[in-house]
Amino acid sequence: MSVSTALPHSPTAVESGFDVERIRRDFPILREFVHGKPLVYLDNAATSQKPEVVIDAIANYYRHDNANIHRGVHLLSQRATDEYESARKLVQRFLNAGEAREIVFVRGATEAINLVAQAYGRTHVGPADEILITTMEHHSNIVPWQLLCKQKGAHLRVVPINEAGELELDKFERLLSSRTRIVAVTHVSNALGTINPVKDIVSLAHARNIPVLVDGAQSAPHLAVDVQDLDCDFYALSGHKMYGPTGIGVLYGKAALLEAMPPYQGGGDMISSVTFEKTIFNKIPHKFEAGTPHIAGVIGLGAAISYVNEIGGSAIAAHEHELLNYATRTIGAIPGVKLIGTAREKAGVLSFVLENIHPHDIGTILDQEGIAVRTGHHCAQPVMDRFCVPATVRASFALYNTTKEIDALAAGIEKGKEFLG
Ligand SMILES: Cc1ncc(COP(=O)(O)O)c(C=O)c1O
């Protein structure tokens, strides 16, 4: 399996000079109290917290540089444009994309996937064609394809997963058909933590000339991602899950594909000329950035990427790997706990159910202890159906979490069991 993740023989986080207590001081919200208890934030797969540098970058933009981009000759507009386009280059380097014009700013992973489903799908998918996804997709990587199938009379095909929550790669291969027009697969499952062998998936699909979209909402914050090495055609991410602001995300697309695709939305900035008879579209990536974009969001995302780069992706991955191992041992050992998602390759997500206790009830007790976890279907209802559970409790880790917080989670679960059991 070839995935970009912390390998068992990678240096530990501490060996890499990772100091979690120093990192925690960068995140002002971690000093909050919830119901009189220090906040233990373990809902990072839903959204991460923001370091001071990101908050400051957004405030500084509004305080000193606020202007619309690409349109003004005045100094503020030039400054805003420079900051916006510098952030694009930061994202390019972060994903190791070949060119900055392959980076399109969107609202989030959801919008990135909808963009591809509509702009690519409109021209490449027809009646009786097939789109291949997997059982472990987030609703954001299911519904846009269902909408496209409905519009075009195409069919959605779904690759199953095994009891551990791993993709059945042999079945994936068998489901690739002469009618498959695109494969859309998550890199990391938000509900199970499974890391998919995306590089293998891409090479199997490419052998049949089928492009692959990778939903990177849960991988960009946690793994070193190299889109050229993965060779994926599209890659979607959300800024707010990687220490950046909400409302900003990225679609990476290979230049040749983006150039050949029609626009997603029409409006200002995505054109080079307009008459009532004919509109000539702007070059990529601007062709896909209609209207005034989320300038402050892009600048905030750039600051988040600089922050992560400074700490180092592999040190972060090693730390989160240690947290996951510790949590799997500690929480997994609690009588009555059943882990959902036990893949060999996992990122920092621990989903579980408790015998005879509904996840929402345990979530409420944990909240009283100041512990924020997610309970529910995690926008992945087919995963819940696969494991025959209505919901799970999900603890998900980020670079600022500690083993002490996992101990607090374990104590909170024991307390919940006493109270509810
Ligand atoms: C795997 C995955 N894909 C897509 C999304 C959608 O992200 P957003 O809501 O930021 O667009 C999420 C959000 O949780 C996710 O976990």
| Domain closes at, from 270, 292, 309 | 309
Report whether residue 149 contacts ligand 1, using a CB cutoff of 6 Å. Answer: no
Let me know if residue 303 belongs to a domain. Answer: yes
- Whether 398 and 329 map to the same domain: the answer is yes
d(CA 407, CA 332): 12
The reported pLDDT for the residue numbered 1 is: 30
The reported pLDDT for the residue numbered 421 is: 75
Report the nearest atom of ligand 1 relative to the CA of 378: 14
Report whether residue 109 contacts ligand 1, using a CB cutoff of 6 Å. Answer: yes
- Whether 116 and 33 map to the same domain: the answer is no
d(CA 301, CA 54): 7
Q: What is the pLDDT of residues 130-180, one digit of tens each?
A: 999 999 999 999 999 999 999 999 999 999 999 999 999 999 999 999 999
List 33's β-bridge partners, or say none.
Answer: 38
Q: What is the pLDDT of residues 261-312, one digit of tens each?
A: 999 999 999 999 999 999 999 999 999 999 999 999 999 999 999 999 999 9
Let me know if residue 14 belongs to a domain. Answer: no
Residue whose Cα lies nearest atom 9 of ligand 1: it is: 110
Question: Confidence band (pLDDT; 50, 70, 90) for 11?
Answer: low
Q: 10 Å Cβ neighbour count for 207?
A: 10
- Whether 239 and 256 map to the same domain: the answer is yes
- Asked if 216 and 236 count as a contact pair (C-beta separation under 8 A), the reply is yes
- Whether 65 and 166 map to the same domain: the answer is yes
- Whether 350 and 209 map to the same domain: the answer is no
Q: What is the pLDDT of residues 106-138, one digit of tens each?
A: 999 999 999 999 999 999 999 999 999 999 999
In this structure, what are the phi and psi dihedrals at residue 349, rounded to the nearest 5 degrees? -130, 125
Let me know if residue 374 belongs to a domain. Answer: yes
Residue whose Cα lies nearest atom 12 of ligand 1: it is: 217
Q: What is the pLDDT of residues 331-371, one digit of tens each?
A: 999 999 999 999 999 999 999 999 999 999 999 999 999 99
List 3's β-bridge partners, or say none.
Answer: none
Let me know if residue 246 belongs to a domain. Answer: yes
- Whether 335 and 220 map to the same domain: the answer is no
Q: Identify the CATH number of the domain in which residue 97 sits.
A: 3.40.640.10
Q: Identify the CATH number of the domain in which residue 320 sits.
A: 3.90.1150.10
- Whether 258 and 319 map to the same domain: the answer is no
Report the nearest atom of ligand 1 relative to the CA of 240: 10
Using a pLDDT cut of 70, give the percent of the chain over it.
97
Let me know if residue 148 belongs to a domain. Answer: yes
* Structural domains of the chain, count: 2
Flag whether pLDDT at 191 surpasses 70.
Answer: yes
Let me know if residue 185 belongs to a domain. Answer: yes
- Whether 26 and 125 map to the same domain: the answer is no
Let me know if residue 9 belongs to a domain. Answer: no
- Whether 159 and 207 map to the same domain: the answer is yes
Question: Confidence band (pLDDT; 50, 70, 90) for 378?
Answer: very high
The reported pLDDT for the residue numbered 6 is: 41
Report whether residue 417 contacts ligand 1, using a CB cutoff of 6 Å. Answer: no
- Whether 288 and 144 map to the same domain: the answer is yes
Q: How many helices (H) and strands (E) does the chain have?
A: 15, 17
Report the nearest atom of ligand 1 relative to the CA of 186: 1
- Whether 89 and 226 map to the same domain: the answer is yes
The rounded Å distance from CA 77 to ligand 1 centre is: 32
Report whether residue 108 contacts ligand 1, using a CB cutoff of 6 Å. Answer: yes
The rounded Å distance from CA 374 to ligand 1 centre is: 14
- Sign, CA dihedral 72-305-20-40, equals positive
Structural domain span for residue 32: 20-50+313-420
Q: What is the pLDDT of residues 192-213, one digit of tens each?
A: 999 999 999 999 999 999 999 9
The reported pLDDT for the residue numbered 10 is: 58
| Domain closes at, from 266, 281, 309 | 309
List 103's β-bridge partners, or say none.
Answer: 252
Look up residue 98 and give its DSSP letter. Answer: S
State how far Cα 188 lies from the chain centre. Answer: 8
The reported pLDDT for the residue numbered 5 is: 40
The rounded Å distance from CA 138 to ligand 1 centre is: 7
Is 379 tagged catalytic?
yes
The reported pLDDT for the residue numbered 17 is: 81
Let me know if residue 2 belongs to a domain. Answer: no
The rounded Å distance from CA 108 to ligand 1 centre is: 8
| Domain closes at, from 258, 290, 309 | 309
Report whether residue 102 contacts ligand 1, using a CB cutoff of 6 Å. Answer: no
The rounded Å distance from CA 217 to ligand 1 centre is: 5
- Whether 224 and 328 map to the same domain: the answer is no
Report whether residue 321 contacts ligand 1, using a CB cutoff of 6 Å. Answer: no
